[in-house]
Amino acid sequence: MAKEFDADKAWVLWPEYFDAQRTRDQGRRVKKGLAVQEPQMVNIVKAVERLGLGWKLEEGKSYPGAWWNKQGLLLVENNMPKSALLVKIAQELQKIQRQ
């Protein structure tokens, strides 16, 4: 289960940040080479857990650029720069999708 952390200071993560089908303008936040096909929130949670970080899922929320897709958002413990966090999660997502 998720470990305790301050949700008010957490990073907000959306599945769209890791979606290889999206452009940077459409919300992708990682390099194309790190992005994955159809990122699922369950896998993003697994990746965050593998990194040993606290998290909280807010279901039913949708990324503003994809209001119809209500996968939710993930609040993740803020203990590193967001850019570094996104790269680490993307690397874990790639490992998860290869399994």
Per-residue confidence (pLDDT) for residue 50, from 0 to 100: 96
The residue ranges of every structural domain in the chain are 7-98
Query: In the chain, what percentage of residues exceed pLDDT 70?
Result: 97
- Using only C-alpha atoms, the chain has a radius of gyration, in whole angstroms, of 12
Position 78 confidence tier, pLDDT thresholds 50, 70, 90:
very high
With b for 16 or more beta-carbon neighbours within 10 A and e for fewer, the 68-99 pattern comes to eeebbbbbbbbeeeeeebbbbbbebbeebeee
Domain 7-98: which topology?
Phenylalanyl-tRNA Synthetase; Chain B, domain 1 (3.30.56)
What pLDDT, on a 0 to 100 scale, did the predictor assign at position 74?
96
Query: 4 pLDDT exceeds 80?
Result: no
pLDDT for 23 beyond 90:
yes
pTM over the 0.75 mark? yes
Task: Name residue, tokens 């857990």.
Answer: 49
- How far is CA 42 from each of CA 8, 54, 87, rounded to the nearest angstrom? 22, 15, 18
Please report the pLDDT score of residue 2 as a whole number. 54
